[in-house]
Amino acid sequence: MSRKYFGTDGVRGKVGEFPITPEFALKLGYAAGKVLVSQRGLPSGERPAVLIGKDTRVSGYLLEAALESGFSAAGVDVSLVGPMPTPGVAYLTRALRLQAGVVISASHNPYDDNGIKFFSAEGMKLPDEVERAIEAELENPLSCVASAQLGRARRIDDARGRYVEFCKSAFPNDLNLRGLKLVVDCAHGAAYHVAPDVFHELGAEVQVIGAEPNGLNINAGFGATAPQALQNAVRENHAHLGVALDGDGDRLLMAGPDGSLYDGDQLLYVMVAERLRQGQPVAGVVGTLMSNLALEHALANANVAFIRVAVGDRYVVEKLLEKGWLFGGENSGHLLCLDKHSTGDGIVAALQVLAALRRQPQIPVAALLGAVRLYPQQLINVDLPKNGSWRQNPDIAAAVAATERRLTVAGKTRGRVLLRASGTQPLLRVMVEGEDAAQVAAEANALAQTVREAIQAAASRVLRG
C-alpha cells in the first residue's frame, strides 16, 4: 500500500491548505496515538507518551495545540519542548524513554509552509509500515477515550540544556575550540538558542547571525539554503570558519575564511577521512543519487565502499542500518554519524569536522575541507506531460547509454548521468556530471534535447491513439 499523506520526510504543505490544517493535525495526532497504543506493550495502566517539538514558524503554535489534543483524545501523554532542532527531538525522545517524537517543521522551506514528522522510540524516522498504519487509522472516525484515560500534557523546562550537553558530548574530551573564531548562522530557526551555546561552551569565539526568529523569517536570507549571509559575515569578521544550519537544524554547510563554501559531500569525506586517520575502520559510506561522483572516487581511493540510495535521509539511515555502517549523508547537508546520533544533526556533524581541524592544525582549512574537489554538474529540467513516458523509452535509453560511454575514458568512469522525475512538479530532471565542465555542459544540453524530443514524440503517439 502506497502512502497517501506521508512523503519522504513526514507530512508537509502550505499552512491552511490540506493537509496542513488544524483539523487534519488533530486527526493525525489521534491516529498516531491509536497506533502507538496498539503497538506498544506497556505495563497495565501506563499510557504511551510522546514528545512534541517545533521550529520557529508562527504556525507551530496552531499545529502543536491540535496535535496535543489528538494525542490526548487517544489516551497518550504529551511532553512539550517548544522550539527545538529536529535532531534534538530525536535525542530527547530516546533519552526520556518515550514512545515517539513529533517535530512540527518544514525544514528549509519558507515560513508559510509547515510539516509534521515522527521519530520512533529509538530516535529514528518511523518505518514505512508504521506510517501506513497511521494512514489506515486516519480513515476511521475521530473518537475519544473515557475522561479517566485522557492523555495529559506537561512542558519540559530543561530540554534545551539537555540537548546542548548532548551535542557537546559528541566532541572529543581531549579537544576544545579555544582560539577559534566562528560565525554561526541559525537561519532564524530552531537552533537559534542551542547552536551558539554549544560552540561557545566548547571554547570558541562565536559571532551569531540568523538568530532573531519572529515566526515569519525562518530561512529568509539566512541559513544553509541561503549561504551568502554566512560568507559575508565570515569575511567581515575575519573568522576562521562559518557554520550554517537550516530552519530545523538537521542540515549543515560550512564556509572557509575566504567565504568558500563546502557542502555535505565534502564535509562527509572530512568526517570519514578523520576516522581513517585515527586508525578506525570505515567499512562503507551511504550517499544518494545526487551525491557528487568526486566523493565516490575519493572514497574508492581510500578503499571505502560507497552505495547510493534514493534521495532522502531516511533511506540513507535504512541502508546504514542494513549494512551495519556508521557514515552517510546527502550533498544538501544531512550528515549521519550513527555512533554519535541516530539521525542527521547539523551541530553534531559540525563538531566532527571541527575535531578533524583541531587534530590537524598544520593543514589549512581550505586544504582539509576542500580535499574533495567536486565535479561540475549540469541540471536541466524537461517538461513531463501527464501522458509523457520516459522510463521505458528506447530513444532515451540509447541517448543515456551513449552519453555514459563518452564520459568513460580508458575504462574509467569520468562522469555519470541521472534522470529523475520531480516529486512535486511535472518535470524530468536531467543531470550530467563529470570532470570536465565544458564536456558536462555540452553533454547535458544534448541529452536534454534528445529527452525532450523523445517525450514529446511518445506523447503524440499516445494522443493519436
Regarding whether 45 and 28 lie in a shared domain, the answer is: yes
Domain boundary (369, 391, 409) is at 369
Q: Would you say residue 2 lies in a domain?
A: no
What are the residue ranges in the chain where pLDDT is below 50? 1
Residues 128 and 18 in one domain: yes
**Same domain membership, residue 283 and residue 218:** no
pLDDT at 412: 85
Q: Provide the domain count of the chain.
A: 4
C-alpha cell at 387: 501522458
The CATH number for 230's domain is 3.40.120.10
In a domain, 172, yes or no: no
Same domain as 353, residue 416: no
- Beta carbons within 10 angstroms of residue 268's beta carbon: 31
> Which CATH number is 442's domain given?
3.30.310.50
Same-domain pairing of 361 and 274 = yes
107 as an active site residue: the answer is: yes
Q: How far apart are the first and last CA of the chain?
A: 31
Which of 260, 290, 322 is the C-terminal boundary of a domain?
Answer: 260
Listed residue (245, 267, 240) closest to 256, CA to CA: 240
Question: Can you give the pLDDT at residue 88?
Answer: 98
**Alpha-carbon 369 to chain mean position:** 20
Assigned domain for 250 exists: yes
Note the pTM of the prediction, 2 decimals: 0.93
Residues sharing a CB contact under 8 Å with residue 273, sequence separation 6 or more, in sequence order:
302, 356, 371
Co-location of 281 and 205 in the same domain? no
Residues 6+ apart with CB under 8 A from 367: none
User: Residue 168 domain-assigned?
Assistant: no
| 191 and 218 inside one domain | yes
HSE toward the beta carbon, residue 312, CA cutoff 13 A: 12
In this predicted structure, what is the pLDDT of residue 1?
Answer: 46
395 and 347 in contact (C-beta within 8 Å)?
no
Cα–Cα nearest to 193, from 154, 231, 249, 110: 249
276, 280, 283, 285: CA torsion to nearest 10: -50
In a domain, 164, yes or no: no
CB 427 within 8 A of CB 381: yes
d(CA 430, CA 416): 11
CA separation for the pair 303, 377 (Å, rounded): 25
Residues 23 and 122 in one domain: yes
Which residues have a Cβ under 8 Å from the Cβ of 54 and sit 6 or more positions away? Answer: 60, 63, 64, 82, 83, 84, 103, 104, 105, 190
C-alpha cell at 214: 519572529
**What is the CA 150 to chain-centroid distance, rounded?**
34
Residues 269 and 283 in one domain: yes
Identified catalytic residue from 107, 120, 332, 342: 107
Query: Which residue is associated with the grid cell 532542532?
Result: 85
Q: Which domain holds residue 244?
A: 178-260
Among candidate residues 346, 369, 392, the one where a domain is terminated = 369
Same domain (yes/no): 44, 155 = yes
Say yes or no: 306 and 390 in one domain: no
Nearest to 313 by CA among 280, 294, 341, 293: 341
Strand order in the sheet with 415-421: 377-383, 427-434, 415-421
> Is residue 290 in some structural domain?
yes
Residues 33 and 82 grouped into a single domain: yes
Positive or negative, the Cα torsion across 228, 347, 116, 26? negative
C-alpha to C-alpha distance for 298 and 294, rounded to whole angstroms:
6
| CA dist., res. 283 & res. 305, Å (int) | 7
| The predicted structure's pLDDT at residue 45 | 66
